[in-house]
Amino acid sequence: MPAKTIFSMAIDYMRKHLMSSIENSFPDIKQRDVMFVITVPAIWSNAAKQFMREAAVKVRFYLLCLLNWVLFICTRS
């Protein structure tokens, strides 16, 4: 099985598991109310970043951020 398929399956599983946990704890929150973000280290090669982007898109997961930008935004808030 291709690595991209395995990563896509793992991303999809994590999203579904997290949504299930959220919905059990907070019944009023639905999937349309939640946005998940995948972060990747900025030091990864462009090929590795693109691989993760393609794996995420394969399971309709469109938001991918570089980890250093997420940390910068969080520390500025």
Yes or no: say if 41 and 65 are a contact pair by the CB < 8 Å rule.
no
Per-residue pLDDT tens for 42-67?
889 999 989 988 998 888 876 666 66
- Span 15-30, mean pLDDT? 90
pTM: predicted TM-score of the whole model, two decimal places: 0.73
Q: What is the mean pLDDT of residues 11-23?
A: 91
pLDDT band at 77 (very low <50, low <70, confident <90, very high): low
Q: Kindly list the distances between the CA atom of residue 20 and the CA atoms of 32, 56, 59, 60, 71, in Å, as whole numbers in the listed order.
A: 13, 19, 17, 18, 27
Q: Are 64 and 40 in contact (CB under 8 A)?
A: yes
Cα–Cα dist 9/2, whole Å:
11
Q: How much is the pLDDT for 69? A: 62
Measure the N-to-C terminal CA separation of the chain; round to a whole number of Å: 42
